[in-house]
Amino acid sequence: MRVSDKVFTSVFLTDLMGNRDRLLKLQHQASTGKKFDLPEEDPVGSVRSMRLNRVLNENGQFSKNMDEAIAWLSATESALDQATSIIHIVRERVIQGANDTLAQVDREAIADQIDKLREELLQIANTSLGGRYIFSGFKTQSKPYALGQASVAIYQGDEGEMAWEIESGETIVVNVPGNQVFATQRIEYRLESDMHSSASIFGPGIFTIRVGNRVYSVDVPAGANVSIIADRINLRAGGSLRAYVVPDGIGVKLVIQSKGNERLSLSDSVGTVLKDLGMLNKREEMVYVGDLDIFDILQKISEDLRYNRSSSLSGERLSELDEYLDHLLRVRARVGAKVNRLEATKSRFEDNKVQLTSLLSKIEDVDIAEVVMNLSNQQAIYQSALRAGARIIQTSLLDFLE
């Protein structure tokens, strides 16, 4: 086989260009730190890289959403904490003002303090974060509360609940409309027995009544009628509920009703009193008994102090304050639970980010030490090829002229 100078030169140049391409690729990898720039350089790696980058971008946006949600809920929690402190102060002043030995001038001074506390609570209700009011529902650019005629606090927001996405397909409501914080519907729950004759006899036995988280034990003596059972319930659990007898046709029914927005449940412990009454496994009825507005309560407390209504202060007003405090604590508990959930989710996202970034680095990033070593070797190979070519391919027509 005859190898001409043209073939020899062509093969040499092809090999030299290949060496130069490999050298260029290694130089590019060393300068960028990436294994590839174009999908065709590594189709499988490119697909995996794009998928991981998309997940990282989505998680980054979710993390920003969670940061804003935590800031919003933390501001809400802080406002509710301040409101709770004010209500505790008001409660102390109500107990103080209900004392019959207190002089009227002292009651007037307490009433003035209640008015100031009401104004402070109104400011808390109008708390803003970054120029947006946190208790206005969707109307975040408008103050939620304003004073109307006779200093009545009027809610101007709406009941909109802002739901932010924190995971793919998962949202969380980050606000509480003001009319659900500073006012609440007064709901009571009621259970009725079957109809019995007023002469019907029950007992002996013991049954329990659960009202929210509280449990009361009611003992019923032998030979008790419906009225006696109602009296025993009021004796044992009168602070949380009331029991009474209502006529029903030719008979009577025993009614047990809570005094606050707490569910009821009954169970026999000894004997079968509740079973005989027909009250077991019955679903309680929800009864709406009006609204409880803290600004209205504070205004009435001030009036009761100025008009020396000590019985109203120690009775109805104190009961309303306690009921509102329970409501406020429930709202705070829900807000706190959401903050805890967001912080746990954000922590999980941070861990996932580290793992995803590490996996993405294995797909995209080069081993710098290895690339530098290969680059040095390839430079040596390229320089050697150039020197060899210079020595071998150096003849011309002038070398044959004498």
Bigger pLDDT: 35 or 66? 66
Integer Cα distance of 321 and 118 in angstroms: 13
Spatial CA neighbour of 26 closest among 381, 378, 380:
378
Query: Given pLDDT bands bounded at 50, 70 and 90, which one contains residue 124?
Result: very high
pLDDT band for position 203 (cuts 50, 70, 90): confident
pLDDT at site 111: 95
Q: What is the pLDDT of residue 94?
A: 94
Looking from the CA of 312 toward its CB, the CA atoms found within 13 Å total 12
Lowest model confidence (mean pLDDT) among 114-118, 155-159, 206-210 = 155-159
Q: Is residue 32 part of a domain?
A: no
Same-domain check for residues 212 and 309:
no
Residues 114, 228: one domain? no
Res 50: pLDDT:
67
Same domain, 311 and 178: yes
Domain assignment present for 82 = yes
Q: Give residue 284's pLDDT.
A: 87
Percent of the chain predicted with pLDDT > 70: 77
Q: For residue 112, tell me if it sits in a domain.
A: yes
Residues of the chain with pLDDT > 90, as a percent, come to 45
Domain boundary (217, 246, 278) is at 278
User: What's the pLDDT score for residue 352?
Assistant: 76
Q: What pLDDT, on the 0 to 100 scale, is given for residue 182?
A: 93
Q: Are residues 155 and 214 in the same domain?
A: no
Instruction: Based on the fold, state whether residues 83 and 231 are members of the same structural domain.
Output: no
Examine the domain organization and report whether 200 and 173 are in the same domain: no
Per-residue confidence (pLDDT) for residue 166, from 0 to 100:
83
How far apart, in whole angstroms, are the C-alpha atoms of residue 129 and residue 71?
A: 9
Does residue 238 share a domain with residue 96?
Answer: no
- Answer whether residue 269 is part of any domain: yes
Preceding peptide of 177 cis, ω within 30° = no
Same domain flag for 224 and 163: no
Q: Is 235 a domain residue? A: yes
Whether residues 62 and 171 fall in one domain = yes
Examine residue 175 and state whether it is found in any structural domain, yes or no.
Answer: yes
Write the Ramachandran bin of 203: left for phi over 0, alpha for psi from -120 to 50, otherwise beta: left
- Averaged confidence pLDDT in the chain: 83
Half-sphere exposure of 330 (CA within 13 A, CB side): 16
Q: Domain for residue 378, yes or no? A: no
For residue 195, the model assigns a pLDDT of 93
The H or E element spanning position 396 is none
When pLDDT is cut at 50, 70 and 90, the band that residue 29 belongs to is low
Q: Cα–Cα distance between 211 and 237 in angstroms, integer?
A: 9
Total domains, the chain: 2
* 243 in the same domain as 319: no
Residues 60 and 143 in one domain: yes
Alpha carbons within 13 angstroms on the beta-carbon side of residue 148 total 9
The whole-model pTM stands at 0.68
Question: Per-residue pLDDT for 38 more than 70?
Answer: no
The pLDDT assigned to 395 comes to 58
Average pLDDT over residues 121-149: 92
CA–CA distance, 19 with 301 (Å, rounded to integer) = 92
pLDDT of 55: 66
Judged against a pLDDT cut of 80, whether residue 384 lies above it is answered with no
Q: Which pLDDT score is estimated for 262?
A: 81
Of 250, 278, 306, which marks where a domain is finished?
278
Question: Taking residues 173-198, what's their average pLDDT?
Answer: 90
Q: How many CB atoms lie within 10 A of CB 205?
A: 21
Domain coverage including residue 87: 55-183+292-352
**Considering only 86-100, 143-157, 352-366, which range has the smallest mean pLDDT?**
352-366
Report whether pLDDT(341) > 60. yes
Q: Are residues 119 and 171 in the same domain?
A: yes
How far apart, in Å, do the first and last CA atoms of the chain sit? 31
239 within domain boundaries: yes
| Mean pLDDT, rounded, for 118-122 | 95
CA distance 126 to 399: 99
Last residue of a domain, one of 278, 311, 326: 278
